[in-house]
Amino acid sequence: MAHIQDRWYREVPDTKNPERKNRVLTARHGIGMRYKVRYITPSGDERSKSFPDGQLKAAKEWKAQREADLARGTHVDPRAGKVLLRDFSAEWLANLDVNEASRQDLEKRFRRRVLPYFGNKELGAIKPSELRSWDRWLRDEGLSDRYRHTLFGNLSAMFTAAVDDELVPRSPFAGKSVKNPTPTKHKVIPWPEHQVWAVQEALHPQFAVTVDLGAGLGLRQGECFGLAVEDIDFLRGVVHVQRQVKKVRGKHVFALPKYDKSRDVPLSEPVKLALAEHLRRYPPTTVTLPWEVPGGPAQSHRLVISAVRGGVVDAKDFNKDRWKPALRAVEVPCGSYENGMHELRHFFASVLLDQGESIKAVAEWLGHSDPSFTLKTYTHLMPSSAERTKGVIGSMYGRRDAASGEHGPSTAHKDQIT
């Protein structure tokens, strides 16, 4: 299947004994690489690699490895790995089966954190040692463990696709020395009730209802801004969460909630009254936006919350002009990534769990894709089972003693033979 050519010598028949071969010098003797290993790929193309004088053993080992790969069906064309990461990642990102907002986020990460380091490198040339160096560069840039963990996952997924396409035989992430950064786990600490209402009081009156939607229904920020009047069933006491507002390629669009998961959330009486009063004071505005992507099919909805001058609320402007000033007014820290509107969802979950609501129900109302995520996030907020267990067992023994007229285990063996 493969053979080794010695380019410094060739064999010629002996003039006196044709069955015998003599080795003679070639015109290339002493010039360039001596050994050339040739083989044929499954597609019928010839591939080769040259080795210098004194490296016959290495040539034989390389030949044996190619033959073994061909026999196992794991052969990867050495030329394939010469594709630049910049070129392959562009094609991979363009073909990913994700929504356009997620694709935009991935492109941003690659553009800012992957391509500056690996963009001009060949796929086959990237080794585990370079991944370790890349991680050190990311740390020097001050990136968090969580963000580095995300970047590792994204680039690893790209290399998995390269392996599937037979561009590289093995992902560099498969190396045992490559450690995926572990995100620091922070326990969710819900806001106290007084802080929730203080922030609501400090908000512009037109946006105070966002607190009711977050703390009373568990809606995400984009879901608050995408909630329409027709989504609220005042009679049955249910809110249908079936769209959000988000930005894609710099344009606002309507889209399904996160995880493409619509849901129904129970509408309590106080939240119902708050919504009704908000709609009385600020009549809904009909907003028309494309669906999912700019240029997508248009949809029109009578939104519960609109900008002061009409139209859809821009999340970035809302956070800067409305939310953070309200936090500062009541002396709540408001750094880049702390105390955003998501805190209201944490508050919603904590109240339900404190009252004994099931994780499954809370996960459904929050719109989580997997109840195990809800459990992992909020398990420390669930009421302690220790005291509940003591009470249950104590009640059981109390019923036993009441039925028997006895007062404990001391009389359980009164008929025992001594």
pLDDT digits (tens, 9 = 90+) for 197-235: 999 999 999 999 999 999 999 999 999 999 999 999 999
| Contact assessment for residue 256 and residue 242, using Cβ atoms and an 8 Å cutoff | yes
For residue 247 the two structure tokens come to 């930005």
**pTM of the predicted model over 0.85:** no
> Is residue 77 pLDDT above 70, yes or no?
no
Distance, in Å, from the CA atom of 273 to the CA atom of 401, rounded to the nearest integer, reads: 50
Mean pLDDT of 60-89: 78
> Is residue 366 pLDDT above 70, yes or no?
yes
List pLDDT tens digits, range 42-55. 777 777 888 899 99
| Contact assessment for residue 303 and residue 282, using Cβ atoms and an 8 Å cutoff | no
pLDDT value, residue 142: 92
> Is residue 321 pLDDT above 50, yes or no?
yes
Does 411 or 170 have the greater pLDDT score? 170
| Contact assessment for residue 159 and residue 83, using Cβ atoms and an 8 Å cutoff | no
Tokens 């010598």 -> residue: 9
List pLDDT tens digits, range 140-150. 999 999 999 99
> Is residue 416 pLDDT above 70, yes or no?
no
| Burial status of residue 210 (CB atoms within 10 A of its CB: 0-12, 13-18, 19 or more) | buried
Domains and CATH numbers, the chain: 2-75 (no CATH), 82-174 (1.10.150.130), 193-381 (1.10.443.10)
Mean pLDDT of 123-143: 94
